[in-house]
Structure formats: C-alpha cells, structure tokens
Structure 1
Amino acid sequence: MLSIRFEGGNPDKPFVDVSATSRPVLPADLPVLSASAQQTYGVFNPQRLRFWSSAEAGAFVGTQPDMRVLAAPVRDLQPRPTPPELSLRPTLDTSQLAAAREAYADVDRLHPAHPGQARIFSEEDLQETVDAGTMFDVLRNGEWVGYVGVLPKPKHGLNAYSLQELILASACRGRGYGAALTTLLAQALPQGDRVLLGTIHADNRGARQAALQAGRVDIGGWSWLPLLHALA
C-alpha cells in the first residue's frame, strides 16, 4: 500500500511512503514501486519513495538509508557497568530544556548533517514524558548534563519503551558516556519485560555505535528511493 506524505508536514516536500506490504520489499520490487508511485501520485511531484526493510543499511543499491530502529529487551540491557560519576534522577519539570536545546545546537554546528537526522523534542513532548514518570536528568558528579527518557507505548508490534530523548551537554561528549546512558536508563525503568526501542539515522555513526555497544540490536529501518522520473 502506497500513500502520499510530506516531510515534517511541509507541502513543498512530498514523498511516497510504502505504508504496508504483504511481504518484505526486495531489490527487484523497486522499479515497480517507483512506477506505481509516479503513476498514482505524480500530481504531487514527489521526489522520493520511502520503504522499510530488515536488511542492513545500504543493502539496496541506488537508495539512501534513513532512520534505523535499534532495540533490545530492557532486562538484557541492565547488567552492564557504568561510570561512577554518572547517575540519573527523575525529571520534575522542563527547566533544563534551554540547556538541552543548546546541546543540540552545538552538535548541529559540529556536524552539518545532524539537523536532518535528529531534533530535540518539544516542550509539550518533554512534559508528556515527565508526566509518565519515565524522563530522567543525566547527572555527572551531581550536576545536570543531559536528558534521557522514554514513553511506554507499543511500537513496531512490540510492547515497548519508545526512546524520546538522549542528549548530553557538549562537555560530556566523546567520553564514551552514550552506551552508559542506555544502561542507566534500563536500570531505572520499572518494566524489564518491555523492549527499549529507538530510531537513529544510519549516518549518525556515533549514536549507532553507542547503542550497539549498550546491547541494542539493529532490527531494520527505512530507505529512500529517488524517483528519477518525477514530474517537473
């Protein structure tokens, strides 16, 4: 099943989404999907088609990998050592949101592709996670240095904790703390039978490596297929 979508809700960025399939997408399917997308939604002049696959990133020639889903049972992520200077405490309000936004801005300045890969959530989303009791301040030696939090909700057919945010202040990056945050988060969550699940852009190698080191597994992701014959 195909549907027309708009990136970020922007009407100037239409794309065709492979919303549902009866079997996994194979490389041989791409020409047919491309033709169907342009025939059905050509009036929108979509430039790309997005599809999901459990194949590794880059497995489809001529496509561009997008977000990957990395997941693992919470209980499997808990028994790992963490740096003694790091700890978590429940987030009580949104008072550190400005600092978190500055941390994102620092990453954006250092990595020009980052704004297209990840954005900090809104104040409303932060408050929702705080209200759920699953948002945490990251502390280093007792001082705030970041956020990590999830929402308990089904996703991709799994009984999941969906990762909402994981951000560290710039002074704490490059110290190997990323994997430790996943461990600390897993240890703080009350339901070990859930799956901790989050998306990371395929090109965000640092974040992906930290997730893999923490024990999460890449279970698949989306890819973009350019629609070379999109209407002018």
Structure 2
Amino acid sequence: MFSDRRAAGEQLAVALAEVAKPDPLILAVPRGGVPVAFPVWRRLGGDLDIIQPRKIGSPFNPELAIGAVAPDGTELRDAALIARLGVGEDYLRREAARQAAEAARRLRFYRGDRPPPRVGGRHVILVDDGVATGITDLLALRLLRRDGPASLTLAVPVGPAESIARLRAVADEVLCLEEPPAFQAVGEYYAAFPPVSDDEVIRLLKAAWEDPGSLPGNPP
C-alpha cells in the first residue's frame, strides 16, 4: 500500500537508483504517472517528459481498457477481450479516433511549443502510477521501441502479474514494486488516489523544465 503517488514515486526512485543508467529520459504517462515520475527524476537526474497514449474504453464500462491509441492514430487492441465483450468495429473506429484527437490535444496543452524529446540512443524509463490490463503502457513501450532507445525500462508501483509479464516481453526491464495475487484496481493500493489535475501536470513539468530549484539533489 502506498500513501499517495508521490510516495510511490519516491519508492520507485530508490529502487531505480540501484539499476538506472546515467542521464535517463524519464517519460511519464499523464495524468497519474506525472506525480510518480517527478520524484524519480529528482533522484536520477536526466530529463523528464511525457508520452500520451490514451485508453480505448469498453462501451459497457469506460474504465475497462479494450485498446489504446496514440496521438498519431497508432492503435493497439485487445482482440480477445473485444471478441469476448462483442464490441463492434464501428464503435472501435469512432472511439479510437476520438481518443487519438484527445491525446493530441492534451499533448499540445501540456507541452505547448516544446519539441518532443529525442528517444533514439537514450536510456528511457517509462513511468505510470500502476498497471491494470497494461495495454496503454504496452502501446507506449512499442512506440518508444520503434524510436531506437539504448535501453527501455518500465517502472510502476503496482500491477497484476499477468499484465506485468506481457510488458516484460517488450521492455528490457520492468520494475514493479508490488504484484498482488488478487489484483482489483490500481487505486486499491493507494491510501490516497485522487484524480490528478491538468494544473498539477503542468506545474510538475514546468518545474522539471524551467525551475533550477527543482534540480535533482535539491530538497522538494
């Protein structure tokens, strides 16, 4: 159990400090991954940025991910789950287009005119606040892999063993602090798990990008 996202990030940072390569590129999945990634960046240094895949939710339960999509429209589907639920192609196309547009909008909103980070040749650490089905993080890993990182690590506080195993097939390394045998939902493993606001995402990114007082090694 983690007290909140920041505390989870601090625990991840300690664990990553033992294995991380120098000058990493730390990429958070907004919104929840940003307050987890910030303490990681403070501990490890390097650069902090974001990657913005979006979940494609089931028409019967929007919180259940049946796929994921990137701002450029790159899509990943959970074919077995889609077939089991009987989700139609028309819905999938519409929802993928809607979520891709929203992902692109959010990326512009969070990053402004800042150019995207260079992934090729970097030691990349992807950070999220937890894994459920894992399909959103799986898409993020595949997108990053095609850009040729020197190494690719996924770091999350919690996730079910089945999903973590699937992610290990794509990442060079996966660090997951807790793999509960009876996993329910990510929020069940946090004492406080409030929604992360856009303002908080922007504040933390701005601190990493612009504020010398937030450089690694300085007190929060």
- TM-score, normalized by the shorter chain, greater than 0.5: no
TM-score when scaled to structure 2?
0.30
Q: Per residue, is there more strand in 1 or in 2?
A: 1
Higher relative contact order (CA 8 A, sep 6+): 1
TM-score when scaled to structure 1?
0.29
Q: Per residue, is there more helix in 1 or in 2?
A: 2
